[in-house]
Amino acid sequence: MQHRNIAFIGAGNMTKSIISGMVSSGYPSDRITASNPSRPKLDDLQQHFGINITHDNHAAVNDAEVVVLAVKPQLMEQVCQDLAKHCDLSGKLFVSIAAGIPHKRLQQMLGGEYDVVRTMPNTPSALGKGMTGLYADASLDAQDKTYAGDLMGQVGDIVWVEDEAQINGVIAAAGSSPAYFFLFLQAMQEFTMTQGFDKDTARRMVQQAMLGSAEMVCHNPDLELSELRAQVTSKGGTTAQAVEHFQKNGLDKLVAGAMAAAIARAEEMSDLF
């Protein structure tokens, strides 16, 4: 991929995940800059990945061809308006990772019809196992579209969505979903501890079961998820009892409700910010 000068505005969890994945995939660290108001996160990024750091958003943006907008949604307007006021933004490609802020609104915040790609990554990007949804409007140049896809492709799998509203579906399915899996595992760990296992052993067992299951899903794309489940579920056995308990207690509805709540919040955020 092209190695353009890239600046991250905001050096939080998601920026660290993406930079970690980029550097492991060979993106030159001297072409990456992160800007953040406080020092410790920047020092951590510099120590781990050897990138450039600054407290000055303007300097970071002035030197960059690509600007990743990686602050919390509620700060986005303030940050973008400040950039618009103090920097020449023409010719730059903007990549937003913020939940709930529409493409048009980002252009409005930046004060012009700049090239913007709206993305929705997730934290497993840190390990190169991310999943990112991307959206751009038809005016985006093919080279910029390729760059944005390659950038997020360095930290995992990607999917382009045609209709911007689908980004909220990506949030529910992939952006927020690592937290659902962690919550589920935590509940399993806690129950396992009631069976006389210490915390670490309980974690080791449930995490290895999750890892193995995820690998089985990935290595068997032709098998339906229900078939993989059937392979574990002996007739009249233990799994059948557990699965029946989940189903009787409305697991499908619970999951659908949680994902719909994530989407509803993303929609609400697009009115708020």
* Burial letters 156-176, b for 16+ CB under 10 A, else e: bebeebeeeebbbbbbbbbbb
**Cβ count near 256 (within 10 Å):** 12
Among 69, 136, 171, 206, binds ligand A1CAB (CB under 6 A): 171
- The answer to the question of residue 167 lying near ligand A1CAB (CB under 6 A) is no
- Which tokens in the block code for residue 128? 């190169």
- The answer to the question of residue 110 lying near ligand NAI (CB under 6 A) is no
Q: Is 261 left (phi over 0), alpha (psi -120 to 50) or beta?
A: alpha
Alpha-carbon gap, residue 187 to 190, rounded angstroms = 5
| Site string (58-97) toward ligand NAI, x via CB under 6 A | ------------xxxx-x---x-----------------x
- The answer to the question of residue 10 lying near ligand NAI (CB under 6 A) is yes
Q: Which does 35 bind (CB under 5 to 8 A by kind): ligand A1CAB, ligand NAI, none?
A: ligand NAI
Part of the chain binding ligand NAI (CB under 6 A), chosen from 3-11, 136-144, 196-204, 215-223: 3-11
- The answer to the question of residue 99 lying near ligand A1CAB (CB under 6 A) is yes
- The answer to the question of residue 96 lying near ligand A1CAB (CB under 6 A) is no
Give the shortest CB-187-to-ligand A1CAB separation in angstroms.
Answer: 20
- The answer to the question of residue 19 lying near ligand NAI (CB under 6 A) is no
Q: Which residue is nearest to ligand NAI (CB)?
A: 12
Give the shortest CB-185-to-ligand NAI separation in angstroms.
Answer: 16
3-class secondary-structure state, position 172: helix
Give the shortest CB-91-to-ligand A1CAB separation in angstroms.
Answer: 29
- The answer to the question of residue 176 lying near ligand A1CAB (CB under 6 A) is yes
Give the shortest CB-17-to-ligand A1CAB separation in angstroms.
Answer: 11
Task: Give the closest residue to 7 by CA, choosing from 48, 45, 39, 47.
Answer: 45
Three-point CA angle 58, 83, 161, nearest 5°: 115
Give the shortest CB-92-to-ligand A1CAB separation in angstroms.
Answer: 24
DSSP conformation class of 180: H
Three-point CA angle 199, 201, 205, nearest 5°: 115
Part of the chain binding ligand A1CAB (CB under 6 A), chosen from 50-58, 140-148, 171-179, 244-252: 171-179
- The answer to the question of residue 21 lying near ligand A1CAB (CB under 6 A) is no
Kindly give the pairing relationship between strand 32-35 and strand 52-54: parallel
- Which tokens in the block code for residue 186? 């935590």
- The answer to the question of residue 99 lying near ligand NAI (CB under 6 A) is yes
Task: Give the closest residue to 79 by CA, choosing from 91, 63, 67.
Answer: 67
Q: Is there a contact between 80 and 104 (Cβ–Cβ < 8 Å)?
A: no
- Which tokens in the block code for residue 136? 């751009």
Q: Would you tell me which residues interact with ligand NAI (CB under 6 A)?
A: 9-15, 35-38, 41, 57, 70-73, 75, 79, 97-99, 120-123, 175
